[in-house]
């Protein structure tokens, strides 16, 4: 089994709903996102997936979030846009283009992250 990973970044604001604490106030993050792809079959160049393809598709998804108030996006309206929900959103959008996608990890800070993946 092979696994590759790439990283991309976006900046956005959000605030958590139904939360008691500082994060209920609007604030921003410089998010780092990691996309993981796994598989057993390599192509004729002996690669699982071209990093350029994975990065392009990931960046296309992140453009929908970059420099936005995530709470105002239709996909999150009325929902608390936690790291968990953002990871799931990115996963579902990227999975439409990259079928071998296995996991998305979203970093709010250098020490705090959340991963989303589907159970087998």
By annotation, the residues acting in catalysis are 23, 67, 108
**Structural contact between residues 4 and 54, judged by C-beta atoms closer than 8 angstroms:** yes
Residues 86 and 57: their CA atoms lie apart, in Å, by: 16
Please give the structure tokens belonging to residue 14: 């959000």
The CA distance from 101 to 94, in Å, is 8
- The DSSP bridge partners found for residue 70 are none
């Amino acid at each position: 089994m092979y696994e590759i990973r790439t990283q991309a970044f976006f900046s956005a604001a959000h605030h958590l709903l139904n939360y008691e604490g500082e994060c209920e106030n609007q604030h921003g993050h410089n998010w780092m996102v990691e996309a993981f792809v796994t598989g057993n079959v390599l192509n004729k160049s002996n690669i699982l997936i071209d990093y350029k393809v994975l990065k392009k598709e990931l960046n296309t998804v992140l453009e929908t979030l970059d420099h936005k108030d995530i709470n105002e996006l239709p996909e999150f309206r009325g929902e608390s846009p936690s790291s968990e929900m953002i990871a799931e959103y990115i996963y579902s959008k990227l999975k439409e283009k990259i079928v071998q996608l296995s996991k998305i990890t979203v970093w709010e800070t250098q020490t705090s992250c959340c991963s989303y993946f589907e159970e087998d």
